[in-house]
Amino acid sequence: MTDAAGATPPVATEAGAAAPAAERGPGEAHRHHVHAAVGETKVHVQGLNFWYGDFNALTDITVDIKSRAVTAFIGPSGCGKSTFLRCMNRMNDLIPGTRVEGTMLLDGADIYGPGVDPVDLRRRVGMIFQQPNPFPQSIYDNVAYGPRLQGLKRKADLDAIVEESLRRANLWKEVKDILGRGGLTLSGGQQQRLCIARVLAVQPEVLLMDEPCSAIDPTSVQKIEDLMAEIKDEVTIVIVTHNMQQAARVSDFTAFFLQEVAGEPAVLVEYGRTSEIFTSPSDKRTEDYITGRFG
Ligand SMILES: Nc1ncnc2c1ncn2[C@@H]1O[C@H](COP(=O)(O)OP(=O)(O)OP(=O)(O)O)[C@@H](O)[C@H]1O
Ligand SMILES: [Mg+2]
């Protein structure tokens, strides 16, 4: 099961769209803060509660997402994994009647602070969804979209960023001779990598991936797992997956969410190094889930 909001995100949030060129040049957003180093905390979450109207979907979540590593979010359907991801780039703001309480800091600065521009936040914290959603434009224009919004105009600069982003997304070889073709003419797995290239083109610091591989072919899954390993030195990755083998393969850290009773809020049962969670979980519920006894 997936959520409708995840499948059809508003366009403005998707490519890491930024403020108009007149307001700032490319890279300016990077000047205002210090990026966390490897192993440091990138996103600090303390006592986070989230409500959809009266429904308390997440309760008292405390977790530190480590910088430049892959963190997997696992747990049964409906336990709030997508909700939590959307808290991290404030996409839940777009859903009427929602409310967040508690602390969520990106590089030490409050994600929900008064001076935060959600559009700039979404460039820094990019998102990939279960269903690939390229714009109805050429492959080239999909990737150039964000950099253009940031004010990049010179063709040579755009060409370079499009190529580099497509290379990092493990798609360049397949599309280098058809850059003018529509993004929607690609296969599903290629479209997903195109969406990854589109996000990477605006140099996100965090990449949120909500079940990015559950609707695509195995070859593309392999390519996406490979690219995650290649970019994680630079980008902090959080991936939601229902595939335990995938979580074990790609992640350094794992967080297990659980809603024990329908209608009751979900909690973060256990969080730690993936090697430990998968070999010696400290909570029986985690063990039951990863060994397939429920969920
Ligand atoms: N827009 C919304 N309005 C009201 N309730 C919502 C909304 N989106 C999600 N919920 C509820 O919040 C809870 C958590 O949903 P969420 O989509 O975050 O779970 P999930 O762990 O991502 O599930 P899945 O693995 O099926 O994707 C569920 O009970 C869901 O019904
Ligand atoms: Mg979900």
Quick: pLDDT tens for 73-91. Answer: 999 999 999 999 999 999 9
78 lines ligand 1 (CB under 6 A): yes
Mutate to test the pocket of ligand 1, among 82, 127, 211 (most ligand atoms within 8 A of CB): 82
- State residue 259's pLDDT score: 92
81 lines ligand 1 (CB under 6 A): yes
Ligand with minimal distance to 50 CA: 1
Sheet of 98-106: strand order equals 55-66, 41-52, 98-106, 109-110
Sign of the torsion formed by the C-alpha atoms of 114, 119, 124 and 128: positive
82 lines ligand 1 (CB under 6 A): yes
- Three-class SS state of 209: strand
79 lines ligand 1 (CB under 6 A): yes
Alpha-carbon Rg for the chain, nearest whole angstrom, is 18
Strands (E), 177-235: 206-210
Mutate to test the pocket of ligand 1, among 51, 54, 83, 246 (most ligand atoms within 8 A of CB): 83
| Whole-structure pTM value | 0.89
Residue 295 pLDDT class (50, 70, 90 cuts): low
Q: What type of residue sits at position 1?
A: M
The CA 2 to ligand 2 mean position distance, Å, reads: 5
262 lines ligand 1 (CB under 6 A): no
* Per-residue pLDDT reduced to its tens digit, 116-127: 999 999 999 999
3 lines ligand 1 (CB under 6 A): yes
Domains, the chain, with CATH or none: 37-132+206-290 (3.40.50.300)
Residues 198-217: what's their mean pLDDT?
A: 97
CA–CA gap between residue 287 and residue 280 (Å, rounded): 8
CA–CA gap between residue 226 and residue 201 (Å, rounded): 18
Which position has the higher pLDDT, 180 or 21? Answer: 180
